[in-house]
A = this chain, B = another copy of it.
Amino acid sequence: MITVLCGGVGAARLLDVLRRTVEPSELVGIVNTGDDLVLHGLRICPDLDTITYTLSGLNNEVTGWGLAGETWRVMDELGALGGHDWFRLGDRDLATHMYRTQRLSDGATLSEVTAELGARLGCPIRLLPATEDPVATVLRSDSLGELSFQEYFVGHRHAVEVSGVEFRGASTARPAPGVLEALEAAERIVIAPSNPVVSIGPILAVAGIRAVLERRRDDVVAISPLIGGRALKGPADRLLVELGGEASAAGVAAQYASVAGTLVIDAADAEQAPEVERLGMACEVTSTMLSEPAGAAGVTQAVLGG
């Protein structure tokens, strides 16, 4: 079994690549919930949904987010009413959030709802929320004060300098059912090429999860989300710098050195390999561009063959 710590888009791509080689039943995703929000009364889990949609073949390849064939009737009407339309929720996507919210209100757990949605939509891989307890990624900006993750990421399009990050609730949050078991049982634990700070950070902050990785460090492989020192998408590179680190493979290694024995970095960052090894990690160099055959093959090899 391969257990993967997941943010959103990067993790969805990784799982989509790995399932070509690994039986889907042997893959488990443990997914960040720090980005979750309640908006219009609806419980929205962006990372769980991105992965579910992508692995169900429903993702929108053009926009890079959301569902294929999406329509925007509700959002258009909401905008006309003067409602919050900065967080774009398509008509199909809304059904997911309405389903989830009602089931949670009926007493179902987030794990149960995630499994139900996966089954209905056709997701072949078991996804577990990292925790069912509330964890909120909160960013601090000297100019704007506290921002929820989505205010930062979508509302301000992450064009805000961040001076701190907090995973509120994480220290008392318990891993969701099955999470510790999936980490213990895995032959290999993989950290997806997601944002180390705001996607993987909230998972590792849940009480007990980091400890398993530290103990199983030799079986943990992390994949750097940077290529040539830059994030493919999103603010991973800037956040690493703003929070006192480095936007480089070595900067990623510094985040993961205590929990992962191996870091997979892109060939464009090959000159950083000695730096990564100096931090005590094995370093695998390959193409990491998952949308390309060479990257898909290289990362699969690095994860499975190491």
Residue numbers of A with Cβ under 8 A of B are 38-43, 71, 73-75, 77-78, 80-84, 91-92, 94-96, 98-99, 101-103, 105, 116-117, 120-121
Q: Is the interface of A mostly helix, strand, loop or mixed?
A: helix
Known: A73-B91, A94-B94. A120 touches B41 (CB 8 A): no
A101 touches B41 (CB 8 A): yes
| Chain B residues within an 8 Å CB radius of A38 | 41, 105
| Chain B residues within an 8 Å CB radius of A71 | 73
B117 touches A98 (CB 8 A): no
Partner of A74, one of B94, B101, B105: B94
Known: A42-B41, A43-B41, A105-B41. A99 touches B74 (CB 8 A): no
B91 touches A78 (CB 8 A): no
B99 touches A83 (CB 8 A): yes
A40 to B42, alpha carbons, bound, how many Å? Answer: 7
- Tell me how many chains of this kind the complex includes: 2
Partner of A81, one of B73, B74, B95: B95
| Chain B residues within an 8 Å CB radius of A101 | 40-41
A102 touches B77 (CB 8 A): no
Of all chain B residues, the one with the shortest Cβ separation from A116 is: B82
Report the minimum CB–CB distance from A163 to chain B (whole Å). Answer: 27
Known: A42-B41, A82-B116. A77 touches B91 (CB 8 A): yes
Of all chain B residues, the one with the shortest Cβ separation from A82 is: B120
Q: Can you list 21 contacts pairing A with B, beta carbon distance less than 8 Å?
A: A38-B105, A40-B41, A40-B102, A41-B42, A41-B101, A41-B102, A41-B105, A42-B98, A71-B73, A73-B91, A74-B94, A77-B91, A77-B92, A78-B95, A78-B98, A80-B95, A80-B120, A81-B95, A81-B121, A83-B102, A94-B94
A96 touches B84 (CB 8 A): no
